[in-house]
Structure 1
Amino acid sequence: MTRATQGNSSHRYSPVHVDSSDSDDSDEQTPFVRRGRAYGQPQEDEEILTLPPTADLWTTFRTRMKYYVPVTRWLPHYSMDGFGHDFIAGLTVACLIIPQSLSYATALAHLDPIHGLYASFVPGVLYAIFGTSRQLSVGPEALVSMLVGTAIAQQQHSSGNTDPKTALAISCFITLFVGLFTFFLGFVRLGFLDSVLSRALLRGFITAVAVVVIIEQSISLFGLKALADEFGIGEESSTVEKLLFIIEHFGSIHILTTVVSFSSIIFLLSFGSLKKRLTKLPFLQFVPEILLCVVLYTILTALFRWDKDGLAILGATKADGFQLPSIPAVPEGVSIRSLFGTSVLISIIGFVESIVISKQYATKHNYSVSPNRELVAMGVANIFGGLFQAIPAFGSLSRSKINDKAGARTQLAGLITALFVLLSIFFLLPYFFYLPKAVLAGIICVAALSLLSEAPHDIKFMWQIQAWSDLGLLLLTFIATISVSIEAGTLIAIALSFLLVIKTSTYPRITIMGRMPGTRGKFRPIKDYPGIAEHIDGVLIIKVEEPLYFANTGQLKDRLHRLEVFGDMSVHPSEEARLNPVSHVIFDVENMPSLDASAAQILLEIVEAYHARDIRVYFVKLHENSRELFIKSDLLERAGGEAHLFRRTADAMEFIERESLCLNMGEDNV
């Protein structure tokens, strides 16, 4: 027994070397790293370290400034060759964002239209300074605006205060809280949140919101707004109640309003379809059909005075320019805590939508965006937006697409858009007096239909790959949003996404390994080579695929037991045992670069439990930083000391076979 151990000493664990290759036969060593460089690399930054402290601080400050304030990076090197492209893109998006801002502020947030324009100007300027995406168009969005309108209606209903100043104060607080919370997420580097939310849950939520928006706007589309107020159907009413109201009073629709609204929808959809078909006409792609629709119906209403025939119009709007930045007083009876909860939901949904768009165009144009800096940029934009009476602003997919097609090359395109919005605030608002509210509702419905158009593709894909759990989650979120409220749907989407992440992270990624036929030192995951990689009788080889810590070791014992009995985690626990009892367990910990105290304690308990059953434990490819914790926790000693540490799985198997041979020879001699 002693000779067998000594004879195999050359293959045991050496603390100087850790085999990092995929193959168990390889002895290649990973290069040592010193101060972020491969050993032996020329130290080109030595000269910088010898600079005077003041110069070094100034260099560091300029470098950090370019990183945290991107405008200082691209503006000094801006080429006038690209100005024409940015100018055309900025003007094109301005023609779209101005009527959208009027629509979202009036029909969804139920505020004066000027506050939608504020949301296009103030956040647009600040994002051009702090944002990292060159094509993202920042401004009011349909989903976000509707959440604001719902929060305003709920607060007014609970407090009994329907004063327009109260609604404005509520909106300002929501925008301010959105900015503060979004900035906080970026400051503590939580930009990974966009990867946490489930696509299926988000698709169910967004689809439901689109349906909610269409049903709500149908009251304005059919000219039933006055009748709805008479019957007490308001923003606090559920979507089902609004739908039933429309069905019951369909005979009371206003004919002129219905004709205007649906003809505007047909105009917008037809023009959009024409753009898709006639792609060979570049100039047609930049024609702002929404602005044309607004101008056309405003002129027709003014000429034929349809407002005297009962067609609701926008009417007089404030054109006083900007108010001084301020924080409004808290209205009586308004719950600030409830507003903050709504702001959290708006922040998460708005950021996820924005960062998806940013990454899409960053990939297309081969530059990088930072989710954390995007959070900071959105946060700063909305903080100042709240101070200037704007509704929350985030990125828009439709506007960003147009911005990209129009040739936007830098954030200057967004700044130009904001400047055109500023001109409209001072000079164009009076000309929207005769703009029909039915047209604004039609614009919103077209935006909602674009959200609905994305759902069939995702649903078809989930059905095709038989992702029944994802389809179930999508349906659950959809039903909750439709039947209960948008807030309930948002909470369910976010809560379930986090629960799914937590559930996944608590399962340790471990794999049972098998020996490849005709070899002695080739081991591969049995699940990847079914019917090829072979179980070794009496030996269980477990490969740990990730670092172990308190969160993913709670179920480690149960999963090891299932692998020991069944050899596969997919086998139901009620089945009969499929493997013979084991006498040796080998842990391949090459992919476990670290572990914490909780994981060390769990491993210690596992080793002791194996020893109590007369099962011997071995560790392969233990990292040096993990080895220190193994020693301090007595885990190494309990496992069998240095004699049970090996560089390769093949070495551990050779040791086990020699030990078994010596044991059998001893029994024969007896």
Structure 2
Amino acid sequence: MSRSSSKDRSSSVPPSPQNRPTFPREPDLYTSLLSSRLTDTQDNGTFNNNGNPQATGSSTSPFLAPHRTLSSFGAIPTARLDDDRSSILSDGIGSNNGAGTSNGRKRQLMSTSELARSSGVKHPRLNYLSYYIPAIKWIPHYDLKYLAGDVIAGITMSSIYIPMGLSLASNLAHVPPVQALYSFAIVPIIYALLGSCPQMVTGPEAAGSLLVGEAVRHAINSGKQHDDDDTKNAIIAGIVTSICGVVALTAGVVRLGFLDSVLSRALLRGFISAVGFVISIDQFIAEFGLISLAKLEGVSHASSITKINFLFNHISDIHGPTALVSMVSLAIILGFKKFRTRIQDRHNWVVFIPDRFLVVTIATVLAAKLDWASNGIENLGDVAETNFQIRFPFKQANITKIREALPTAFLISVLGFFESVVAAKSLGSPIDANISSNRELVALGVGNILAGLGCGLPSFGGYGRSKLNKQTGGKTGMSSVVLSSITMFCLWFVLPYFKWIPRCVLSAMISSVAFSLLEEAPADIRFFIKIRSTPDLLMMFIVFTLTIFYSLELGIAVGVGLSVVQILKHATRARISILGRVPFTDPAIFKNAEEFPEEIVQIEGCLIVKIPEPLTFANAGDLKNRLRRLEVYGSTIAHPSLPRLRSDEHNRNVVFDVHGMTGVDGSGAQVLKEIVEGYLGRGVRVFFARGPRKGGEVWETMERAGIVELVRGGEGDFFEHVSDALKAMEAEEIVVERPASV
């Protein structure tokens, strides 16, 4: 494995600059970091400053004396180019106290400011701050060519979602309609300043508003307040919204953005479908003119099953004019949605038609001119015109309400964050912005905290309206600023005219949203049936059923609990496998013996085990059990009741292929040491192939744990390839190949 020094010297000459590869992202930063590190590059103790391999073990151990293939940079091993790139960048961003060594001495690392200056950044601190506050970057460099599209998109959003906000507040959250407008006035502009997705539109959502309504319903049913106490209902909404903001902000600060992967698609589809069903049943009462009767019988805040029973018992009491206006409004909204979907590919202008705004405007004008109220069609009524008041929710008088609102606020935060991140990542950005889940949490958290001070509704990003924003020309956060500005204008000047809006029309708008929540469920169900994913179907059914028959909180809580159990089961299962050699391959190829039994040959007297993942406390406990199954049965899926299928003669040597074992914690190292000790005690030689770099974190952990000493003391060793370990055994004349069928 040794190489001549002349070869090393010739290979270390860097190529000409024109032949060097370039990277599309941060070339200046990477090049400067690379050049600063080339002066004392080493492979964690494997190479010295002159690029010559150091003696790190016996000459029979290829892994301990790896060959060095130089890349076009002239000093970095090709096999480690990607790893070095990430490690250089991460090292450079670290502190100056030096992490890592060069020939046993500390390496001086560059600070973030030094890295920025070396890359030509004039104002490092401002550049650093602009990552967390994107408005610092996009506002000074705003391109006026985007202005027309942003303004049109903002107006379109306002015409559709301001009436929708009134519906969500009055019909789902059971708070004064103006509270939704406070959210639309505050959260979008905050998100425009702090959010990482310029085209995202934030605001109250149906699921979150319904959960706020559940909190209000709980307070009413417990006798702590009355249904018509708008002030106390608004305070509850403000408390829930503020807690949502605190939860989101805290999660973003401590970098919990990765949790958007915790909830499965089946769980969310089951819950969202249940929300759509619950909303539909709620709105039927208003659409049929049965609001007063429902309040009289005390079913306004009852379960969905109770409301269904109420509707069947009072079919004869349906108010004809109200039902007619509701059905016509709903038919227009749904019909235009279908029409727009069919022709918008050929005629893009159709997306600019604010169908909901037109329906609400026409219905409001007709209600005022024709006095629909005299015919029994209930209007929205006077909307509070009081000045905006800041109510700090976290005070002693609200302790009981805060404690009761915590579960609801947490669920809203989880659902809202998941939908926001999905929307942000699906939309992307016309200016190639970097979408960060953690920054999304911070932006949404700050926005909801401020909205909660005004007793607004919880607000998160929505894919539907964000997609419409993109389709109508929105390119930057300016469209959200326009939305907030128009909402403020409505709060100051248009509120008196809202009183003529028929409640049944607002209910029809909410019903259209509920149907959109339900329309994707059949496709998901068909897909899960097609791939025979019984666990996902069962998850959807459980969450949907519990939400319908019991409560929203119980449905999502059980769903999250089941998801966590699935994650833990997946994380604690050791994914080891037995390998066999594909005959007549040079270099030798090894495949999973269980998946490709007809393509491989077994190695007589040798068990080759692949560990494809980091070894931690979570999966180390299962490693011994699954390893024993491989020894006894040659498979990890064989049932323990079977008789022994593999004799001890086939396990005289064990080779661990640990290429995927990129990390080992204390528990994992302890279990691995016990396994090695057990083999050595039975006279079995242990080899490691494709193992960790000497000097790396995994190697040092194994060395400190005594695993390296045990392996070498038991006449084993560490090799660069599995075939090298087999050759070493073959040299001892203890390895014989035989067909897998024998």
- Kept in 2, the 8 Å contact 1:12–1:643? The answer is no
- Kept in 2, the 8 Å contact 1:159–1:334? The answer is no
The match for 1:647 among 720, 739, 742 is 720
Please give the TM-score of this superposition, normalised by the length of structure 2: 0.82
Question: Is the partner of 1:402 in helix, strand or coil?
Answer: helix
1:479 Cα deviation (Å)? 0.8
CA distance in 2 between partners of 1:131 and 1:232 (Å):
43
CA distance in 2 between partners of 1:30 and 1:319 (Å):
66
Aligned to 1:627: 699
The match for 1:408 among 474, 481, 495 is 474
The 1:37/1:224 distance shift into structure 2, 3 A limit, reads closer
Question: Is the partner of 1:551 in helix, strand or coil?
Answer: helix
The match for 1:30 among 60, 80, 84 is 80
CA distance in 2 between partners of 1:398 and 1:87 (Å):
19
Aligned to 2:655: 586
Q: Between 588-597 and 630-639, report the one with greater CA deviation.
A: 630-639
**Any gaps of 5 or more consecutive residues in structure 2?**
1-56, 70-76, 92-107, 737-742
Aligned to 2:242: 176
Question: Is the partner of 1:390 in helix, strand or coil?
Answer: coil
1:501 Cα deviation (Å)? 1.4
Matches within 5 A, 1:557-596: 557-581=624-648, 582-596=651-665
Question: Is the partner of 2:260 in helix, strand or coil?
Answer: helix
CA distance in 2 between partners of 1:367 and 1:515 (Å):
47
The match for 1:261 among 326, 337, 362 is 326
| Residues 361-394 of structure 1, C-alpha deviations (whole Å, 9 max, x = no match) | 1178744311100000000000100112211101
| Residues 466-502 of structure 1, C-alpha deviations (whole Å, 9 max, x = no match) | 1111111111111111111000111122222222112
| Residues 617-661 of structure 1, C-alpha deviations (whole Å, 9 max, x = no match) | 211132122232222222223334374222221121122233344
1:137 Cα deviation (Å)? 0.8
1:456 Cα deviation (Å)? 1.3
Aligned to 2:336: 271
The match for 1:250 among 285, 302, 315 is 315
CA distance in 1 between partners of 2:589 and 2:151 (Å):
62
CA distance in 2 between partners of 1:136 and 1:370 (Å):
13
Question: Is the partner of 1:369 in helix, strand or coil?
Answer: coil
| Residues 503-531 of structure 1, C-alpha deviations (whole Å, 9 max, x = no match) | 11111232221101124732222345341
| Residues 428-456 of structure 1, C-alpha deviations (whole Å, 9 max, x = no match) | 11112111111111111100101111111
- Kept in 1, the 8 Å contact 2:152–2:473? The answer is yes
Matches within 5 A, 1:223-372: 223-235=289-301, 237-279=302-344, 280-324=346-390, 326-327=392-393, 334-362=400-428, 366-372=432-438
1:107 Cα deviation (Å)? 0.4
Matches within 5 A, 1:20-59: 29-31=79-81, 33=84, 36=88, 49=114, 59=123
Question: Is the partner of 1:553 in helix, strand or coil?
Answer: helix
The 1:177/1:225 distance shift into structure 2, 3 A limit, reads same
The 1:516/1:129 distance shift into structure 2, 3 A limit, reads same
Question: Is the partner of 2:615 in helix, strand or coil?
Answer: coil
- Kept in 2, the 8 Å contact 1:18–1:622? The answer is no
- Kept in 2, the 8 Å contact 1:172–1:328? The answer is no
Is structure 2 residue 680 aligned with structure 1 residue 611? yes
CA distance in 1 between partners of 2:523 and 2:395 (Å):
47
Q: Quick one: higher RCO (CA 8 Å, sep 6+), 1 or 2?
A: 1
CA distance in 2 between partners of 1:91 and 1:16 (Å):
67
Aligned to 1:465: 531
The 1:198/1:319 distance shift into structure 2, 3 A limit, reads same
- Kept in 1, the 8 Å contact 2:288–2:318? The answer is yes
- Kept in 2, the 8 Å contact 1:137–1:400? The answer is yes
Residue 656 of structure 2 aligns to which amino acid in structure 1?
F
Root-mean-square deviation (CA, aligned residues, Å) is 2.9
Aligned to 2:582: 516
The 1:75/1:332 distance shift into structure 2, 3 A limit, reads closer
CA distance in 2 between partners of 1:47 and 1:198 (Å):
37
Aligned to 1:551: 618
Residue 531 of structure 1 aligns to which amino acid in structure 2?
E
CA distance in 2 between partners of 1:578 and 1:247 (Å):
65
The 1:586/1:170 distance shift into structure 2, 3 A limit, reads same
CA distance in 2 between partners of 1:324 and 1:156 (Å):
24
Question: Is the partner of 2:601 in helix, strand or coil?
Answer: coil
Question: Is the partner of 1:555 in helix, strand or coil?
Answer: helix
Q: Between 267-276 and 608-617, report the one with greater CA deviation.
A: 608-617
Q: Between 130-139 and 635-644, report the one with greater CA deviation.
A: 635-644
- Kept in 2, the 8 Å contact 1:19–1:621? The answer is no
Aligned to 1:113: 177
The match for 2:215 among 131, 134, 151 is 151
Aligned to 1:209: 275
- Kept in 2, the 8 Å contact 1:156–1:167? The answer is no
**Any gaps of 5 or more consecutive residues in structure 1?**
1-7, 21-26, 664-670
CA distance in 2 between partners of 1:156 and 1:330 (Å):
21
1:38 Cα deviation (Å)? 13
1:281 Cα deviation (Å)? 2.9
Question: Is the partner of 1:313 in helix, strand or coil?
Answer: coil
Aligned to 2:137: 73
Aligned to 1:95: 159
Aligned to 1:10: 59
1:546 Cα deviation (Å)? 1.5
Q: Between 346-355 and 566-575, report the one with greater CA deviation.
A: 566-575
- Kept in 2, the 8 Å contact 1:565–1:577? The answer is yes
1:405 Cα deviation (Å)? 0.5
CA distance in 1 between partners of 2:396 and 2:187 (Å):
23
- Kept in 1, the 8 Å contact 2:367–2:502? The answer is yes
| Residues 571-625 of structure 1, C-alpha deviations (whole Å, 9 max, x = no match) | 3333444434322111011221221111111011112222343332211132122
Residue 270 of structure 1 aligns to which amino acid in structure 2?
G
Aligned to 1:378: 444
| Residues 44-70 of structure 1, C-alpha deviations (whole Å, 9 max, x = no match) | x999749999xx999332012210100
CA distance in 2 between partners of 1:397 and 1:661 (Å):
63
- Kept in 1, the 8 Å contact 2:64–2:718? The answer is no
CA distance in 2 between partners of 1:492 and 1:510 (Å):
31
- Kept in 1, the 8 Å contact 2:603–2:735? The answer is no
CA distance in 2 between partners of 1:493 and 1:116 (Å):
29
The 1:440/1:29 distance shift into structure 2, 3 A limit, reads closer
The 1:86/1:120 distance shift into structure 2, 3 A limit, reads same
CA distance in 1 between partners of 2:197 and 2:158 (Å):
18
The 1:244/1:107 distance shift into structure 2, 3 A limit, reads same
Residue 36 of structure 1 aligns to which amino acid in structure 2?
I
1:404 Cα deviation (Å)? 0.7
Q: Between 644-653 and 330-339, report the one with greater CA deviation.
A: 330-339
Question: Is the partner of 1:10 in helix, strand or coil?
Answer: coil
Residue 66 of structure 2 aligns to which amino acid in structure 1?
H
Is structure 2 residue 566 aligned with structure 1 residue 500? yes
CA distance in 1 between partners of 2:333 and 2:111 (Å):
62
